[in-house]
Structure 1
Amino acid sequence: MRRKNTISELVAVAETRGCSLWQVILEKEERLQGRDRKDIWRTMEKYWAVMKESLDAGLQPGNRSLSGLVGEEGFLLTRYLEKAKPLSGSGSVLAAARAMGVAVVNASQGRIVAAPTAGSCGILPAVLATVAERTGASEEAVIGALFTAAGVGMVIDEQASTAGAKGGCQAECGSASCMAAVAAAEMAGGTPRQAVNAGALALKNFLGLVCDPVAGLVEVPCVKRNAIGAAVALLAADMALAGIESKIPLDEVIQAMKEVGDALPDSLKETSLAGLAATPTAREIEKRIGAGDRGNNHPGLLKV
C-alpha cells in the first residue's frame, strides 16, 4: 500500500532545496503521471483559461441559475464595490463577488473547473485572480499557484476527503479555502512554511461546516459559502504573511477535519435532510421548484 503524502513532507523538500511548493508538486506530478513537464504545465494553463472564462461570465448582469434561486450576486457586489467603501476591504469584496459569480456559472450549467469540487468551484479562481491583480503576479506565477493548490488538495483527498457527501461542506468549501490560502500566500512572496500556515488558519475555521443544500441544488447556501471561503482565504494569507502561525499544523487540521466529517450524521452530508435544507422556508422552496435529484456536487480536483 502506497504511503500517503503529507503537507509537512512537501514543506521539508521545498525548504531543503530552497524552492517553492509548486516546483516540488510539479515534479511529483511528472513522476506520477509519466508525462513531460511542459505537457503537464500546458494542461494547467488550459484549466486557468477555463477559470478566467467563468470569472468573466460570472459577473455579467442577468445571470440566473436554472432554478432561479441564485444569479446576480456577484454582479451586485461589484456594483456595491464601485459605489461604496466596503467594510471588509476591496480585495475581499472583489474576491467574494468573483467566487459567487463562478458558482452561479456552475449552477447555470456553464463550464467551470472543479477546484476541488463543483460546489466550491469559485473560491480558488477568485482568490488567485484577485491576488494576481494586487501583486502584479505574472501568468506563470498564477499557474504555479494552481499547482500548489492542487498539491494541497491531493493531500487533503488522500488524508480525508474533498467530497461533501463524505465530510460535509468543510470538505468542499473548507478545502477550497485552504488550497486558495496556501496558493495566495506563496504567490504573494510567502515562504512554504508561511503558505501552509495560511492553509491551516483557513481550514480550521471551517471545521464542522455541514453540507445542507436547499432542495438538493448546489445553490443555497453553496454560492454564498464560496464568497465567504474566498474572503477567509485572503485573510488567512495576510495573517500568515504577517508572521501569525497556526498552533495546529495543517496535516493535523486535515486529520481533525476527517474525524469531524466521520462524526457528522448522514443527514448533514449532502442529503438535504437537515440543517438549512430542513427549514420551513427551504421546504417551501423545494415544493415550489419541484427539485429533482438531491446533492449534485461532483467531487474532483482541478477538473473541467
Structure 2
Amino acid sequence: MFADNGIQMLNECRKHNISISEYTIKEEIKKTEDTLFNVLKKMNKNLQVMKQAVDYGTKNNVKSLSGFIGGNGFKLNNYASSGNTLTGEFIVKAMARAVACSEVNAAMGKIVAAPTAGSCGILPAVIITAGEKLQKSEEELVRALFTASGVGILIAKNATLSGAEGGCQAECGSAAAMGAAAVVEMMGGTPDMALDAAAMVIKNTLGLVCDPIAGLVEVPCAKRNIAGAVSALTMADIVMGGVKSIIPFDDCVTAMYRVGKQLPCELRETAMGGLATTKTGEKLRKQLEDSKLYK
C-alpha cells in the first residue's frame, strides 16, 4: 500500500535507496499487477496529451467559449524568444505553456487534469520546459510525472486537491508542489530535497482562494497556473541551491487542509466571493448570462 505520509515515503526511499519516481512506479506495479513496460506506457500517454495541449496552445490563438480568456499562450510564446524578457526565455516559455494549456482546457480541448482541470497547465509547463533545459529523454519526463504523482497521492491522502473543498491552494498549490518535487528529482536531488521543494511551494500558496469569475475555470485560474509554474521552478532551484524547508512537507500539507477548511464557502469555487464578486467580475458574469451560450 502506498505510503500514508511524506515521512513514510522517505523512509521507504532511504531503505531501498530509490527515488520518489521509482517508489511510485513500484507501488503502481504492485497495485495494478502490471509490467513496468505497461505502467510507463500508460503514463507516456498522459505526457503526449500534455505535449499536444501546450504545443497547440502556444502556436494557435486559442479562445475560450466564453471569450474571457485566450491568446495569451500564443503571445507569451512569441515574447519568450524576443530577447526582450526580464526573467529570460526559460521562465517565459514555462509561463506560456502553463496559460496555453489552461486556454486549451477552456476551449474544450483535450488536456490531462493533473491534479485537476483548473490546474492542468502547471505540470506540463514545469516538466516539459525543465526537461528541455536539462536535456532529458522522454522516459525521464515520464518518470518525472511519477514523481509528481507520488507527491499528489500524499496530498490527496492527507488534505485535498479540490478547489471546492480547499481553495485554489489545493489545486494550483498542489500542482505546483508536485511539479517542484519532479524538477528537483530531474536535477539529481534527493527525495528529501524534492519534498522540501514541495513544502516551500505549499507555504507560498497557503490560503490562496478559489474565486472563478461566473463559476468558470478561466479567470483568474489561467494566470494562477502561470504563477504556479513559476513557483514550482523557482522553489526547485532554491532547494538545489542548498536551502531547506524549516516546516516539513507533512506539516505543510496538514496546514493547507486546515486553512482550506477555515475558508468560507464564498472562497471555495462558488463564485460568491473574491474576484468573482468585484464590479468587473459581476459585469462579466452578467455579460455571459446574456450571451448566446445561455440561450
Structure 1 length normalisation: TM-score?
0.93
Determine the structure 2 residue equivalent to 1:89.
88
Q: CA deviation at 1:36?
A: 2.6
Determine the structure 2 residue equivalent to 1:24.
23
Q: CA deviation at 1:40?
A: 1.6
1:193 aligns with 2:200: no
Tell me if the contact between 2:80 and 2:90 (Cα under 8 Å) persists in the aligned partners: no
Q: CA deviation at 1:30?
A: 1.6
Tell me if the contact between 1:207 and 1:260 (Cα under 8 Å) persists in the aligned partners: yes
Determine the structure 2 residue equivalent to 1:204.
203
Comparing 265-274 and 25-34, the one that deviates more: 25-34
Tell me if the contact between 2:80 and 2:88 (Cα under 8 Å) persists in the aligned partners: no
Comparing 212-221 and 89-98, the one that deviates more: 89-98
Q: CA deviation at 1:35?
A: 2.5
Determine the structure 2 residue equivalent to 1:235.
234
The residue identity in structure 2 corresponding to 1:94 is K
- Report SS of the residue matched to 1:118: coil
Q: Which runs of 5+ in 2 are unaligned?
A: none
1:219 aligns with 2:215: no
Structure 2 length normalisation: TM-score?
0.95
Tell me if the contact between 1:200 and 1:248 (Cα under 8 Å) persists in the aligned partners: yes
1:131 aligns with 2:142: no
- Report SS of the residue matched to 1:272: coil
Tell me if the contact between 2:102 and 2:225 (Cα under 8 Å) persists in the aligned partners: yes
Q: CA deviation at 1:256?
A: 0.3
Tell me if the contact between 1:123 and 1:180 (Cα under 8 Å) persists in the aligned partners: yes
- Cα deviation per residue 1:172-196 (whole Å; 9 max; x = unaligned)? 0000000000001101111111111
Q: How does 1:287-302 map to 2 (within 5 A)?
A: 287-290=286-289
Counterpart Cα distance in 2 of 1:251 and 1:128: 23
Counterpart Cα distance in 1 of 2:157 and 2:195: 17
Q: CA deviation at 1:4?
A: 6.2
Determine the structure 1 residue equivalent to 2:97.
98
Counterpart Cα distance in 2 of 1:291 and 1:25: 48
Tell me if the contact between 1:208 and 1:257 (Cα under 8 Å) persists in the aligned partners: yes
- Report SS of the residue matched to 1:205: helix
- Report SS of the residue matched to 1:254: helix
Counterpart Cα distance in 2 of 1:187 and 1:9: 22
Q: CA deviation at 1:84?
A: 3.5
Tell me if the contact between 1:215 and 1:291 (Cα under 8 Å) persists in the aligned partners: no
Q: CA deviation at 1:43?
A: 0.7
Q: CA deviation at 1:68?
A: 0.8
Tell me if the contact between 1:4 and 1:158 (Cα under 8 Å) persists in the aligned partners: no
- Cα deviation per residue 1:214-250 (whole Å; 9 max; x = unaligned)? 0111000000000010000000000000110110011
Q: CA deviation at 1:61?
A: 3.1
Determine the structure 2 residue equivalent to 1:265.
264
Q: CA deviation at 1:62?
A: 2.1
Counterpart Cα distance in 2 of 1:230 and 1:197: 17
Counterpart Cα distance in 2 of 1:93 and 1:165: 30
Structure 1 residues 3 and 24: CA distance shift in structure 2, 3 A = closer
Tell me if the contact between 1:204 and 1:253 (Cα under 8 Å) persists in the aligned partners: yes
Q: CA deviation at 1:96?
A: 0.8
Q: CA deviation at 1:20?
A: 1.3
Counterpart Cα distance in 2 of 1:247 and 1:39: 39
The residue identity in structure 2 corresponding to 1:137 is K
The residue identity in structure 1 corresponding to 2:169 is Q
- Report SS of the residue matched to 1:247: coil
Structure 1 residues 291 and 220: CA distance shift in structure 2, 3 A = farther
Counterpart Cα distance in 2 of 1:192 and 1:271: 37
Determine the structure 2 residue equivalent to 1:33.
32
Q: Which runs of 5+ in 1 are unaligned?
A: 293-304
Counterpart Cα distance in 2 of 1:291 and 1:215: 12
- Report SS of the residue matched to 2:4: coil
Tell me if the contact between 1:198 and 1:237 (Cα under 8 Å) persists in the aligned partners: yes
Structure 1 residues 92 and 154: CA distance shift in structure 2, 3 A = same
Ranked by relative contact order (alpha carbons within 8 Å, sequence separation 6 or more), the top structure is 1
Percent of pairs identical after alignment? 45
Counterpart Cα distance in 1 of 2:27 and 2:201: 25
Counterpart Cα distance in 2 of 1:146 and 1:20: 13
- Report SS of the residue matched to 2:235: helix
